[in-house]
Structures are given as structure tokens and as C-alpha cells.
Amino acid sequence: MSRPSSLLAALLLMLAPAAAWGAEAPPASLGALLDGGKQAAGLTSYARTLVGLSLLSLIPAALIAMTSFTRIVVTLSFLRHAMGMPETPPNVVLVTLAMFLTFFTMGPVFEQVHRNGLTPFLEGSAGTQQAIDGGLAPLKEFMHAHVRPEDLHAVAELAKKPLPESRAEVPMQVLVPAFMLSELRAAFTAGFIIFLPFLLIDLIVAAVLMALGMMMVPPVSVSLPLKVLLFVLIDGWTLLLRAIAGAYA
């Protein structure tokens, strides 16, 4: 046996569990290791673990693209800029708040994903493809409930793929970008509504300062405390979070 084959055989012998070889001694060659279904079946648990670890790397992308995280974090960013404080609260605070609010709004969907996809896969009662299909079904229903038909048709035209009549047959490469477009549109609409009262305060403060002849005083130095005071008095954080959560109820 050549040296590369010997090294590969030694590596497979170290990875394979002892129970896979039964009571007999492990095979001494690469050919004996690969022959027969009994030895190959011993590596199933490792293949399942490898697939599970690979899927973990897709969780951040799925959290951003297939949940309410995008709308929440963009809306919170609009609030920060509308108040005139681009760095307060810090990014880590907004992202953490958006993440936990996402878990709150997506709780029923995540429970269905766990019940239909992850649990059967870990128990071995479903294959990889069955687990993926079962886990994606609740997410697809959620995205279909909040995607605009106009965005679906626009993305389908860009992808040059006809939209099927059944919602369950819409491919993910069309549904996910269309859902993100709809979420961004909703976030920008909410941002416009958030900007209006703060813009009114800025205009009033600028007009008062100009009427008093205080043109050298920056309006933001006066309007910023007033905007913060107004936001605290009306319990703005609670109102905003209730409005965001209510959009997914």
C-alpha cells in the first residue's frame, strides 16, 4: 500500500467507533475498511454530526434573511438617527435588543421548526432532506404571510423563473429576497413615521431661535434635549416595541 493510502486508512480507523467493528479486530488495509455496509454504517453518527455543525454556520444568515430581525434593527436605527444621536444607543445594544425581540416575535415559528425539523433529525427518525424540508416549512409560511406579491413578482422576473400557483412551491431563492425587500420597505415606512415628530421639533426650535435672533446657537443643541425628554415622557421605547411586535401578531 502506498503511503497516502496508509495515512488515510489510519485516519479512518481513528475516527470510526469501536462498536462499528464488532468483536473482530479493525481491518488492516484501506480496502478492507471500505468493503461492506457494516463498517460504513458505523460512520453515520459522524456524518450526522458533520451535517449538524455545517448547518450551524447558516444560522446568522437565516436569522437576518428569514425572520423579523431586518425590520426590527432597521427601525431601531431610524429611531436613533431621528433623535439626532447616531451612536446612542450603541450598535451592540440595538442588535441585542433586536435579537431578543426577534426571538419573541418568532417564538411560535421557532417552536414549529424545532418540532418538525430538528427533533426528528436528532432522534434519527428523519433524514437530512426530510428534516430540512420540515424545518423550512414554518419559515416559508411566515415569510409568505409578510411578503408583498409585488416583490415576489419582481424577484421572480429578475430570476427569470415563473411563480407557481401553490405558495409551498415558491423556491427559496425567490421567496427570501422578496421577503427582505418587503421587510425593508416596511422598516423605511416606519422610519418615516418616526422621523415626523422629531422633524417637527427641529423646525419649531429653529424658528424660535431665529425669531429671538439667536442664529449663532446650533438648533440641535436645543432640540436634542427636548426630543429626548419627549421620548421619555411618552414612554417611547415601550410604544415602539409594542408597535413592532404587533405587526407580527
d(CA 174, CA 157): 9
Enumerate the domain spans of the chain: 3-42, 47-246
- In the three-class reduction of DSSP (H, G, I as helix; E, B as strand; rest coil), residue 101 is classed as helix
- Tell me the pLDDT band of 76, cut-offs 50, 70 and 90: very high
Residue pLDDT, tens place only, 19-72: 343 434 444 444 443 444 444 444 466 666 776 677 677 777 877 888 889 999
CA angle 144, 148, 152 (to 5 degrees): 80
Q: With 50 as the cut, is the pLDDT of residue 232 above it?
A: yes
Looking at every residue in the chain, the average pLDDT score rounds to 76
Cell 448547518 locates to 55
- Pick 170 or 42 by higher pLDDT: 170
What mean pLDDT comes out for the span 205-223? 82
Decide if pLDDT at 218 tops 70.
Answer: yes
| pLDDT on residue 40 | 45
Residue 108 has pLDDT above 80, yes or no: yes
pLDDT of the residue at 127: 67
Q: What is the pLDDT of residue 166?
A: 75
This prediction's pTM: 0.70
Handedness of CA 118, 176, 164, 151 (dihedral sign): positive
Instruction: Give yes or no for residue 5 having a pLDDT over 70.
Output: no
Pick 37 or 248 by higher pLDDT. 248
CA dihedral 111, 112, 113, 119 (to 10 degrees): 80
**Residue reference for cell 400557483:** 165
When pLDDT is averaged across residues 72-99 and rounded to a whole number, the result is 89
What pLDDT does 51 receive? 67
Is the model more confident about 167 or about 188? 188
Q: How far apart are CA 225 and CA 227, in angstroms?
A: 5
Mean pLDDT within 95-123: 82
